[in-house]
A and B are shown apart, each in its own frame.
Chain A
Amino acid sequence: MNFSLTVLIWIVVYPIIAFSIGVLLGGYGRKFTARVQRRIGPPWIQPFFDVVKLMSKSTNISHGYMHDAAMMMLIGGTVMTLYFVPVPGFAYFSQFGDFLVIAYLILVPSLGMALGVGETANPNGSIGISRALQMMVGYEMPFVLTFIGMAMLNGTTSMYELILRQQAGGIATWGIVTNPLLGIAALISLQGMMNEKPFEVIVAPHEIATGPMTEMGGKYLGMMFIQHLIAIVVEMTIYINLFLGGARNWLELIVKLFAVWTLILSVHGVYGRFRTDDAIRFLWRVPLPLAAVGVFGIMLGIG
């Protein structure tokens, strides 16, 4: 795929599309959780109103240049990951970076946030970051192992090729069908990666005053909201590309996004919060062995 006007248009439009889908998913999430908890919940478009309100605040407190730059790194890193994840009609960047690149690009926003929150010099924020990084040890191990399994099975580390192979034979060649153990392990890790209950230890408002967000206000908080909305699209799209056969068109992608999101929300809505070390232990005791068994199966040629 060569550079063309279409690619340029996609580069401009894609972040906006992702943000819009993120707003819908975010609004749906709040509504869904509210209904589970017998509340009415805010309107579907509420995340958009939140962002507009926060971005137009006149008081924006900053603790220094790293704090400012961190916000740019946060949005920049997320949008960059978005570009490298192939979606229907736009897989231009996947020829420049495979899944290994995506797996590390997805860390850039976390790193940016960590540096910025560090400069705000609030212990609540630092504890939040400490927890976020520890959780990463928890979910990254099973998630990466599931990917290693898929890559070994298909003989490629390119996400684009993985999608093509899964689409070759309909549902029967989807990752979740050919390797259910890996698919389930990755789904549990995804819950941790998306920081939803029972793994929601980072924000934990009752314990550490919303952690990383403690010192964030005005447009700083607004940009964190924007990042979060795009990030949920990115993270679930990665899962869909790995295990649910990607998508042939946008309608299919959106349907799959809402399906996975509903699954995650239904766990989120009814669970409490793990303690950090228990969350890590759970991720090492349940999804990690599942993925390991799956990979053993692939090594022995069963998968």
Chain B
Amino acid sequence: MVTLYLLILPLAGLLLTTLVAIAGGAGGDGNGAGAPGAARALVLNKAVALLGFGAITALAILARGEIGAIVEGPVVLGFSLSFGLTPLSWYFVMMIAGLTFLTVVFSLASVRGGYPMYYGWLFAKTFGMFGVVMAGDLLSFFILWEVMSWATFFLMQQGTQEARRAAVGYLVYALVASMALFAGVFLLYRAAGSFAYADIAGAIAGFNIGMLLLAVALTIVPMLVEAATYPAHWWKPPSYAATETALTGYLSGISTRIGIYGMVLFIFVVFGLETIDRLWISTYLNLRVIIMVLAALTMVVPTFTALFQHDAKRLMTWHSIGQGGYMLVGIASGSVLGVAGGLFHVFTYLTYVALILFSIAAVESRTGTTNLNKLGGLIKKMPLSFLGLLFGIIGLAGIPPMNGFVSKWLIYRSLILGGHPFIALAAFTATVGTILSVYKLIHNIFLGQLPERYKDVREVGPVMQIPIVILMITVFATGAFPGLVLPWVARIQESLGLTPIAWSLTGVAPEMGQLNMAVISAVFTGTFLLGWLIYAIGGKRKHVGQYDNYAAGHFLDASVPYNYNYEFYSGIEHIFGRLYERPPIKRAEAGLVELLKRAGDFTRRIYTGHLNTYLAYTVVAVLLTIVILKGGL
């Protein structure tokens, strides 16, 4: 029963917020700006969203008791849609509900644009994502997938002018992916005579290699596009970077990860590992290895592209693509540690990316910019946001004791011991690249010289601080005690028919390797205290201002630009510069666009604008119809 409410409540929220927005818009200019009615409507919508998502989060927790139960939905095309929770879908439901709630709380204070439908689209998006992860058959999966894609399209437009243009770019990719998925779903239906996962899995066993390849391509490729896997990742940076900053965190954190859910669903539930492994050319080259190589490229290329970015949001968007590679590589490896690492990484990534982007949003709300060349030295003005970003980047870089290290450790170990040394190298290299770009991020925002124009900036208020603090605690606590989440990951593995990971509260059981995060955290604290002891032995310190600085005999004041932030990694930019200016994939895409334009140009000539041409078309069409219907003259 709770399962059903998880779908009904977001729909009701969407309806209510839409009505309120329309009622408010009637009194104003429809943009929400300057109109008293619209402003009141927005306040009301904020209240609806806060209550609604609070209730949804509570329901999501309650729904745990209903795992395994199936709820019949409405009948579409003679098929009854069905929804239900599995351990995997509950994991995602919890993440969706939790992150959406935190995003809503944070947005109450951070979003200034006055978008009338901001919370409405969040409800729609939640409905779509819940539906996809709870779908009990492929038809429901496909229908809700469509709903989700459109909700994402509308949600993304809450931002600058650029956001509206970039959202269309997303829509093109999403629609192409949807069409492929549509074909794939009906191909499987034709074969199995049913949309149920179990029936399809049975029917696939009888497929020949050609059919199997087609079915796999039509279902897995859309998931790879949704997960922004190289080389289908280009829709992401412009659209995510132009949207509202809190939404960038939300979309990177969970929206793209529905693609990972789909990958797990198709690889382990619909097709099954054995069927997937029938697609092989040689021992070293099968479908899973191809996916892993794509994942490796997804890790390395976007991570190093992030180094070149001058905008905090755009930099993080590239990482959002890159981190997806870690999840994908873990899941495609199919090993105990790999799948556990991939699934756990979805959670850890969600926590620290939201933390990072909330901190960036906090800075943006005070300074009005996310341009990394214009900020600097804010550490003394916004200490909590600094700490939030610090926790987040340590997690993202995968350095102990934060939770990002645990999921990456599982993936590295599975790759090394699973005999994929070069993919493991790619994972390590991407991590080093991550450290570089996140240091640039924190340095250019919070460290270095504080520009004179920001000398009166204050820390953000409690409404924005609360989500940041909650996420900081989560990132640290699940880092020191991964056993808070790992049991659930083990349960998912079990439900997928895989060997579950042997976990302990503080890491993994000894038979899985040597990792005890609580001891690592304790040693971290202890040695830090040793550092403090040595520090205390030394003489008294004296704090000085930023202009009291070595400048080779020059005198510093506010008029002297004395900061290093532009082209931060000049050496590496020198090595990769040309590749960055004209990436090969971008060139291929430009070629495709040109081809489409020419085709469109040609098609356009049919519409001459002369009535007699159209009349001629009509006559020809009528004649043709007669010919076809009569079966010849």
Residues of A within 8 A of B (CB): 15, 55-64, 66, 68, 71-77, 79-80, 83-84, 93-98, 100-101, 104-105, 107-108, 111, 114-115, 118-124, 126-127, 129-131, 133-134, 136-137, 140-141, 144-145, 148-149, 151-152, 155, 157-158, 209, 214-215, 218-219, 222-223, 226, 275-277, 280-281, 292, 295, 298-299
Contact = CB atoms under 8 A, between A and B. Distances in A.
B559 interface: no
24 contacts: A60-B539, A60-B541, A61-B541, A75-B530, A80-B523, A83-B527, A96-B515, A97-B516, A98-B413, A98-B513, A101-B515, A105-B520, A127-B564, A131-B571, A136-B435, A148-B425, A151-B416, A151-B417, A158-B513, A209-B552, A214-B550, A219-B537, A219-B541, A277-B570
Interface stretch (B220-228, B258-266, B326-334, B442-450): B442-450
Interface in B407-446: 409, 412-413, 416-417, 419, 421-422, 424-425, 428-429, 432-433, 435-436, 439, 442-443, 446
Q: Chain A interface mostly helix, strand, loop or mixed?
A: helix
Nearest to B450: A121
Contacts of A280: 571-572, 575
A295 B535 contact: no
Nearest to B547: A121
Contact of B528 (A76, A148, A157, A209): A76
Given A126-B564, A140-B428, A140-B432, A133 B539 contact: no
A151 B412 CA distance: 11
Interface of B: 377, 379-380, 386, 390, 394, 397-400, 405, 409, 412-413, 416-417, 419, 421-422, 424-425, 428-429, 432-433, 435-436, 439, 442-443, 446-450, 507, 510, 513-516, 519-520, 523-524, 527-532, 534-535, 537-544, 546, 548-550, 552, 562-565, 568-572, 574-575
Given A111-B397, A111-B399, 11 more contacts: A61-B542, A62-B543, A96-B520, A97-B515, A108-B399, A118-B443, A118-B446, A121-B447, A124-B550, A141-B432, A277-B575
A121 B376 CA distance: 9
Given A119-B447, A219-B538, A137 B433 contact: yes
Given A57-B539, A76-B528, A280-B571, A157 B417 contact: yes
B248 to A, nearest CB: 24
A148 to B, nearest CB: 5
A213 to B, nearest CB: 10
Contacts of B515: 96-98, 101
A20 B413 CA distance: 35
Contacts of B377: 121
Given A55-B537, A62-B544, A133-B569, A126 B443 contact: yes
Contact of B400 (A63, A73, A98, A101): A101
A132 B160 CA distance: 37
B549 A122 contact: yes
A65 to B, nearest CB: 8
Contacts of A145: 421, 425
Contacts of B507: 96
B421 A136 contact: no
B413 A157 contact: yes
Given A61-B542, A76-B531, A120 B549 contact: yes
A141 B380 CA distance: 36
B568 A130 contact: yes
Contacts of B531: 71-76, 79, 223
B341 to A, nearest CB: 12
Contacts of B552: 209
Contacts of A129: 439, 443
Contact of B571 (A62, A63, A218, A276): A276
